[in-house]
Amino acid sequence: MPKKKSKKQPEKVKLSEAEFEKKVIELAKSGLTSEKIGEALRQQGIHTQEHNLKISKILKKNDLYINTDLKNVETKLERVKKHYETNKQDKRAKREKDRIFSQVRKIKRYLKQI
């Protein structure tokens, strides 16, 4: 059996809290969600737990927070709409479009309550 290659972990990078916030804001402006920002920081060797700051709270403070559930459902709706426009005979796609649209409405209504 061949030996397994060990995954090389990036070296830990020490950042001050201000630098950490700056890095998070920079990644958010490039269009990443809070989950993807966490992954990107992890790959760079920056661990969020060392800073005692939540990425989503930093983004909310700077008005850059995008709810990931809503964003994912909206992108799914766009894909289904695009498919349905080119394939009008696809009745299943029409039903799926309506179902996803109602999901978007429910999420938006839920987010207004919070």
Q: What is the pLDDT of residues 17-41, one digit of tens each?
A: 889 999 999 999 998 889 999 999 9
The answer to whether residues 21 and 53 belong to one domain is yes
Please tell me the pTM assigned to this model.
Answer: 0.69
pLDDT tens per residue, range 71-113? 999 999 999 999 999 999 999 999 999 999 999 999 999 988 7
Contact 22, 46 (CB under 8 A): no
Residues 24 and 52 in one domain: yes
Q: Which of 72, 103, 107, 79 is nearest to 93 (CA)?
A: 79
Contact between 77 and 100 under an 8 Å Cβ cutoff? The reply is: yes
**What pLDDT band is residue 6 in, cutting at 50, 70 and 90?**
low
Clarify whether residues 49 and 75 are in a common domain: no
44: in domain: yes
